[in-house]
């Protein structure tokens, strides 16, 4: 049973991709080790730390709690989607400006949660920001600089309706 390989074809960061996976392979492992997009990190593999957060069909999701086969045909966005070759996205820039990362391990998941929030709501309140990232654990920063970075991005988004987070 069950060790047979299944082809998983999906769109990752706008690019069609496909690779083989046995049914039990976690989406996080698939993204990292089959597709070699290692920006998405695994911090707990039980859905409690948020480091592996990606967006599945535009909604934030823990990639450690999905099987790769479930993502067949889906559109997935990972941290690698945020910047272009030349420049960081506004959210990433504000993370740097506000020293919103130290060891950086939680950062990709934190960015994907914050990006999902700002994509949905360009003027979140501080309480909404804290609530939104409450599922993303960070052990280094104490969070306040992360909240400030998201607030600063929100201000830029409000000042420029064309801007994407």
Partner 1 sequence: MKPPPFDYCSPSTVEEVVDLLGRHGADARILAGGQSLVPLMNLRLMRPGVLIDLNRCRELDYIEHRGDELAFGPMVRQIKAAQSPLVRQHCPLVAQALSWAGPVAVRSRATVGGTLAHADRVAELPAAALALDATMVIQGPRGRREVPAQAFFLGDLTTAVEPDEFLREIRFPVAAPGARSHFCEVSVRQEGVAVVGVAMHLDMVGDRIAKAAVVAMGVDAIPQRLMQVEQALQARALDAQTAELASRCAFDQVDPATDPYASAGYRRHVVAQLVGRALHSIAAQESLYEQ
Partner 2 sequence: MSHTKHPAIQGRYVGTAVPRREDERLLRGLGRYLDDLPEPGGLFYLGFLRSPHAHARIQSIGLDAALAASGVHAIYTGAMLAQWTSPMATPVGAQAQLLRHNMAIDRVRYVGEPVAVVVASSPYLVEDALELIEVDYEALPATISIDQALQADSPRLYDDLPGNVVFEARHAVPGTDAAFEQAAHRFSDTFSSSRLCGVAMETRGFVASFDKGQGKLTLWSTAHLPHKERWEVAQALGLQEKNVRIISPDVGGSFGLKTVTHPEVVVGAAIARHLGRPVKWQQDRPEDLALMHGRDFQFHVEIAIDDQGVLIGVRHNPVVNLGAYPLWVTTAGLDAAGAGHHMMGPYKVPYYAYCARSVVTNTAPTASYRGVAAPICAFAMESLLERAADSLGLDPIEIRRRNLIRREDLPYTNAVGVTHDTASNIECLDRALELSSYLDFRAQQSGQPGEDGKFRGMAIACMADHTGQGTSVTRARGQASRWPGYDGALVKIEPDGKASVHLSLASQGQGHATVFAQMAADQLGLRIEDVTVEASDTASVPFGTGAGASRGAVAGGGAVIKACTRVADKMKRIAATLLEVSPEDIILSEGTASVNGVAEMSVSIEKIAQTAYMIGPSNMPQGESIGLDAMEFYDPPSSSYSMACHAAQVAVDPATGLVTVERYYVVHDCGRVLNPQIVDGQIAGAVVQGIGAVLMEAARYSDEGQPIATTLLDYPIPTAMDVPEIVIEHIETPSTVTLGGMKGAGESGAVGVVPALILAVSDALSASRPRITTMPLTPSRMLEIMGLDPVTGQGLPQTPVGVDR
Beta carbon nearer to partner 2, 73 or 151: 151
Instruction: Compute the least distance from the CB of residue 156 to partner 2, in Å.
Output: 16
Instruction: Compute the least distance from the CB of residue 102 to partner 2, in Å.
Output: 4
Q: Can you give the binding site for partner 2, defined by CB under 8 A?
A: 3, 22, 24-25, 29, 32, 37-46, 48-49, 51, 78-80, 82-83, 88, 92, 95-97, 99, 101-108, 111, 129-131, 133-147
Q: Return the closest-CA partner of residue 154 out of 145, 144, 164.
A: 164
Instruction: Compute the least distance from the CB of residue 92 to partner 2, in Å.
Output: 4
Q: Can you give the binding site for partner 1, defined by CB under 8 A?
A: 1-3, 6, 22-24, 26, 44-48, 50, 53, 56, 59-62, 64-67, 69-70, 113, 116-117, 131-132, 134-136
- 9-17 CB contacts, 8 Å cutoff, 24+ apart: 9/72, 9/73, 10/71, 10/72, 10/73, 10/74, 10/75, 10/76, 11/74, 11/75, 11/76, 12/37, 12/76, 12/77, 12/78, 13/37, 13/76, 13/77, 13/78, 13/80, 13/81, 14/81
């Amino acid at each position: 049973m069950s060790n047979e390989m299944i082809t998983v074809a999906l769109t990752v960061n706008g690019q069609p991709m496909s690779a083989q996976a046995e049914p039990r392979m976690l989406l996080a492992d698939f993204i990292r080790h089959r597709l070699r997009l290692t920006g998405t990190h695994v911090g707990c593999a039980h859905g409690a730390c948020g480091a592996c957060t990606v967006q599945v069909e535009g909604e934030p999701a823990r990639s450690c709690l999905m099987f790769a086969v479930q993502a067949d045909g889906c559109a997935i966005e990972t941290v690698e989607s945020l910047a272009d070759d030349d420049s960081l996205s506004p959210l990433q820039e504000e993370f740097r400006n506000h020293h919103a990362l130290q060891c950086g391990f939680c950062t990709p998941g934190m960015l994907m949660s914050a990006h999902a929030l700002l994509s949905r709501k360009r003027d979140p309140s501080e309480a909404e920001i804290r609530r939104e990232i409450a599922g993303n654990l960070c052990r280094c920063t104490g969070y306040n600089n992360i909240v400030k970075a998201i607030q600063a991005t929100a201000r830029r988004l409000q000042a420029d309706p064309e801007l994407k987070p």
